[in-house]
Each structure stands twice: as structure tokens, then as C-alpha cells.
Amino acid sequence: MALTLLSLIIDAVSYGMALFIISIGLSIMMGLMRVVNLAHGAFAMIGGYFASYALVSLGAPYLVAALIAVIGTIIVSIPFELLLYRRIYRKSDSLTQLLLTIGITFFIIGVMNFVFGPTVKPIPLPPWLSGPVDIGFRMVPAHRIFVVICGALTALALWVLFDRTDFGVRLRAAVDDSDMAESLGIRTDVLYLLTFALAVGLAAFGGVVGAELLPIEPYYALRYMVIFLVVVSVGGAGSIAGALAASFLLGLADTTGKYFMPEYGDFFFYAAVIAIVFLFPNGLLGREPA
């Protein structure tokens, strides 16, 4: 029992961290651009495809493949920002945002399948990540620890970015008042583009390092879309700490359900989601809107 509990916690934490890395970009976009981007998971998926291609067909090392994935996904995503996302920042109603971004999701799924086929794409782990690691009293898969470290570094880096850099200060000014930011000489369209690239890059990164837990295949974009949205909705848009807390909580709910009642599928996960939204309508760490 104790052993099960421990492996459950390790699985839940690493799963939660993978969710965090992918979802935090969505959360930032929600916070700044007020856009519910259902296609966020599709960009994580594109990252996974890039990495798989780089690893399997080009024979690139794991970390290089991850870098290729992030850069490649950002390049692929920029036309979407310039042509489509721009139209729906901040002012559009949620139905318009939903329609446009789910349209983008469907389109990406179709194209990815056309290019790479419908099967699960492998992202083979390098030797230093595939073995177990002794953490003193127990052996833990190295990959799980790697995901946790990546998540912690991502959270730290974002905190530094938002709280300690000029870019972060401008970003928060634009969040509070985009007109004000404009009048202070901040080009909000450039700021939005950079934020979009950051969000998509994080999604791609999360897609690669989380591929062991969330396997890469064309329906990835739909299958996990809800989970990413839920992380943002439960954590509160734009909140790093909220997203972190929500990721752990949901990782725990999902993993516990799968450990003890696998035959119920996602039932308990979604029941937990509904309960959390009702209990914390403004997110776990959210403030009441003024």
C-alpha cells in the first residue's frame, strides 16, 4: 500500500508538472490577451512531431530535438498569430474565440495526419533518461524526475521573467491596461506576438518532455484540450502559482482515478473538475474581479 501510494504520488507529481509546462502558456495568453485558445494543445502536439522527426529521422540528441521542436513550433505558429489570433484578442466574445480556435485545432489535426500519419509517434528517451534513479529509499524512473525538474525550472524562469525583467514589467502594464500601455509607447501588437510565441514555445516544450505521459498522435490536440483548459480555469488565468497548484491537484485526481478505478475512465476526473469550478469560481488562487 505504502509503495503504491508513493508511486502514485510520483506519477501524479510528474504528470502534474507536464500539465503545468504545457498549460502555463495558455494561462498567460488568457491573462494577457483574454483569448480562450482551444488550439493550445495542437501546438504542443506540433512540438511533439518536430521532436519525434528530429530524433528518429535526423538522429539528433534529445535536448537538441527539444530545441528544434520549440523553435520549429514557434515558426509554424506565427502565421496563425498574424492572420487569425490577432483578430480575437481581448474584445471577441467567447463563442467567436471558441469557433476560431477549434477550427484551427481541426485543421492542424488534419494536416498533421496528412504529413505524419495516424499512428503514435515515438519520442525515444536517451539512455540518461530511460533508466531508474535511486533516490535513497526507492528507485524512480529518471524521466519522471526530469519532468519535475523541467517544470520547476519553467516556473522559476517565468517568475524571473515576469517579476525581474523589463519585458515582464511591460507585460503586466499591458495586462492591467492596454490603452495605458499603448500611451506609454509600448507596442501592444509586438508584445502580444512575443507572448504568443512564448506560450506556443512552452506548449511545444511541454509536449516533448511530457510525451511519455501524453503520447503524441493526431488526436492529442482534442484528447487533452479539455485538461489544459481546466488547468487554466481552476488555476486562474495568468497566475503561475495557480496553474502550478491546479496542475498538481488535477494530476492527482486523474492519477488516483486511474490507479484505483480504471474502469470508470475519466468519470472521477471530470466530477472533480466540476466540483472545483463550483467551489473556486475565480480559480484556486484567484481574486474576485473588481
Partner 1 sequence: MSLAPARFPMGLSIPLGAELAALAAVGLLGVVGYVVFPDDLAFLTRLISITLLVLSLDLVTGYCGVATLGQAALFGVAAYAAGNACIAGLTNPFLLLIVGMLAGVVTGILSGLLIGRFRGLQQLVLSIAFGELVAALANKLTPWTGGSDGLSGITPAPVFGVFDFDLYGRTPYWLSVGTLAIVMAALAAFVRSPFSLTCEAIRDDDLRARMIGLAVYPRLIAMYAVSGAVAGAGGALTAITTGVVGLDSVSFERSAEVLVMLVLGGAGRLWGALMGAILFQVFEHYVTTSNPYSWLALVGLMLIAIVVFAPGGLMRGVDLARRRWMRRRA
Q: Does 232 bind partner 1 (CB under 8 A)?
A: yes
Task: Map the footprint of partner 1 across residues 115-144, applying CB under 8 A.
Answer: 118
Q: Which is nearer to partner 1, 185 or 262 (CB)?
A: 262
Q: Which stretch binds partner 1 (CB under 8 A): 139-147, 194-202, 248-256, 267-275?
A: 267-275
3-state secondary structure 189-258: HHHHHHHHHHHHHHHHHHHHHCCCCCCECCCHHHHCHHHHHHHHHHHCCCCHHHHHHHHHHHHHHHHHHH
Q: Which stretch binds partner 1 (CB under 8 A): 10-18, 70-78, 99-107, 177-185?
A: 99-107
Cell triple for 107? 485543421
> Which residues touch 109 (CB under 8 Å, ≥6 apart)?
42, 218, 219, 221, 222
Judged by CB under 8 A, which of 114, 128, 159, 260 binds partner 1?
114
Count other Cβ atoms within 10 Å, centred on residue 87: 12
Q: Which is nearer to partner 1, 12 or 230 (CB)?
A: 230
User: In degrees, to the nearest 5, what angle opens at C-alpha 139 toward C-alphas 247 and 214?
Assistant: 35
3-state secondary structure of 186: coil
Q: Does 229 bind partner 1 (CB under 8 A)?
A: yes
Judged by CB under 8 A, which of 10, 66, 273, 284 binds partner 1?
273
For partner 1, how many residues bind (rule: CB under 8 A)?
44
Q: Does 104 bind partner 1 (CB under 8 A)?
A: yes
Closest CA to 28 of 189, 198, 251, 181: 198
Which spans of this chain sit near partner 1 (rule: CB under 8 A)? 30, 36, 84, 87, 93-96, 98-100, 102-111, 113-114, 118, 218, 222, 226, 229-230, 232-233, 237, 263-267, 270-271, 273-274, 277-278, 281
